[in-house]
Chains A and B, each alone.
Chain A
Amino acid sequence: MATFSTNDFRSGMKVMLDGDPCNIIDNEFVKPGKGQAFNRVKLRNLKSGRVLEKTFKSGETLEAADVMDTDMQYLYEDGEFWYFMEPESFEQHQADATVVADAKLWLREQDVCVVTLYNGSPLSVTPPNHVELEIVETDPGVRGDTATGGTKPAKLTTGAVVKVPLFLDRGDVVRVDTRTGEYLSRARD
């Protein structure tokens, strides 16, 4: 497996740290004029999602992590696993609840999302930035009220609850930003 030196660390690089795959967020070279050089590195542990800062001696190396972001189509879930398919090879991967985590709130069958593979197995799932989902439960719509700016909670087909404008009703399809969980607009059919 390839190794990377602190001198080559760039944001987005995937490396192994204490047995876990990590994504490098930032790398700062620090050197007092007459003193020893070191690198202040910010990394995200791809398993736990936690961000940590670590100091490395300049020139120290870390093993590259076999981590790959792959576009995959979400197929279905069977209560235990979520299933994804690589569109080119039709190869299928199953991911459990810890891997899918909060992404499950935004997964609609047939949608293409990014599955991060670590040593060939799913490590995390990133839904598309914008998804369109149907409202299955909400207070009755207040007809004509498109201007007051008031909101109410609405439950979507996936179980996600988002704040939507008062005029929307059950059966309406809404567009949501999955990064913030915020309602964007009413989807046109």
Chain B
Amino acid sequence: MTGSESWRPGANLAVLRARAQLFATIRQFFAERALLEVDLPLLSGAFGSDLCIEPIVAQVNGAPGYLQSSPEFFLKRLLAAGSGDLFSLGHAFRDNERGRRHNPEFSLLEWYRCGWDEQQLMAEVEQLVLAVLGDRPVVRESYAKLFNRAVGLDPHRASVADLHRRAVACGSWVDATRAASLDLLFAELVEPALPAGLVFVYDFPACHGALAVVEDDDNGLPVARRFELYCDGMELANGYRELTDAAQQRQRFEVELAQRQQAALLAPPIDENFLQALQSGLPPSAGVALGVDRLLMCQLGCNDIDEVLPFSWSRCR
């Protein structure tokens, strides 16, 4: 952004009012359901080991600190401490993410329901999103079904070689791993074929489990009890039935850290506080994170996140 106009906000006054109203609607929605709002740190000495999420590093008292990419670890520590159902509405940071649907700093709503599974939580996500957007068609489908229809391969059973070959045919580049090939095929073939309105995609391939429970489905196939919500083809929310097993979680972290080191990425320390919280006992629960800026884009029909943020990163330099 250059020139004498760069001081101006990206969102106009009408959008800023809609934004304020959206925040009020979200807080009202959870107040009616008696979820506790918590205000969490944005800085931590630890960071998630997700292979594909890059931290923004800060200096804190002479040591590295990390601007948090989601409030997940803090929220789960509160759950383990006996908070009961709770939510956080705040900012999250992810480096190298900038585009029409991405800003390195963005607003994230995340909430947890004790004793619920991912299907119950999907129903609540639907209620909140429809309360904001008004009536829209809603579809729920498994990842395998959508993938099979658009790609013609079974995402759980197809070989990595077959998935990779199909992915290469779509684009000039893709890493020869199951996860990367699935991602590319999903973005290039499945997303454009999603129907308008809300689409909940659930039961992800096990390699896309992240922090979700992985268990056998009715066909004896291991699936991650994870879901994603798309609105008019745009990814809006990601939810899990939460993995509560500390040993399994530590193992996933170590695998991811090894992958990060192999890819010459920053390898932050494992969040031992989080693992200890799991050890002491995370109640069975389901949680979801929803991109608030994108929800506002859907509500107002905006095509660029810059239009719904007062100051996107391009206006902060």
A residues neighboring B (CB under 8 Å)? 7, 28-38, 40, 54-60
Residue of B nearest to A34 (CB): B210
A28-B100, A29-B97, A29-B98 given; A35·B171 CB < 8 A: no
B residues neighboring A (CB under 8 Å)? 50-53, 96-102, 170-175, 179-180, 183-184, 186-188, 208, 210, 228, 235, 238
| A52: min CB distance to chain B, Å | 10
- Tell me whether B188 and A55 are in contact (CB under 8 A): yes
The 10 sampled A-B contact pairs (Cβ below 8 Å) are: A29-B98, A31-B99, A36-B184, A37-B97, A38-B173, A54-B171, A55-B174, A55-B188, A56-B173, A60-B173
- Tell me whether B183 and A29 are in contact (CB under 8 A): no
| B8: min CB distance to chain A, Å | 21
Which of these, B99, B179, B208, B238, contacts A28 with CB under 8 Å?
Answer: B99
| A123: min CB distance to chain B, Å | 24
- Tell me whether B171 and A29 are in contact (CB under 8 A): no
Task: Give the distance in Å from the alpha carbon of A37 to the alpha carbon of B54 in the complex.
Answer: 11
| B256: min CB distance to chain A, Å | 11
Instruction: Point out the residues of chain B lying under 8 angstroms from A55, CB to CB.
Output: 170-174, 184, 188
Instruction: Point out the residues of chain B lying under 8 angstroms from A54, CB to CB.
Output: 171-172
Instruction: Point out the residues of chain B lying under 8 angstroms from A60, CB to CB.
Output: 173
Task: Give the distance in Å from the alpha carbon of A60 to the alpha carbon of B174 in the complex.
Answer: 12
Task: Give the distance in Å from the alpha carbon of A54 to the alpha carbon of B183 in the complex.
Answer: 16
Instruction: Point out the residues of chain A lying under 8 angstroms from B102, CB to CB.
Output: 29, 31
- Tell me whether B98 and A33 are in contact (CB under 8 A): no
Instruction: Point out the residues of chain A lying under 8 angstroms from B53, CB to CB.
Output: 34
Task: Give the distance in Å from the alpha carbon of A159 to the alpha carbon of B174 in the complex.
Answer: 50
Residue of A nearest to B98 (CB): A29
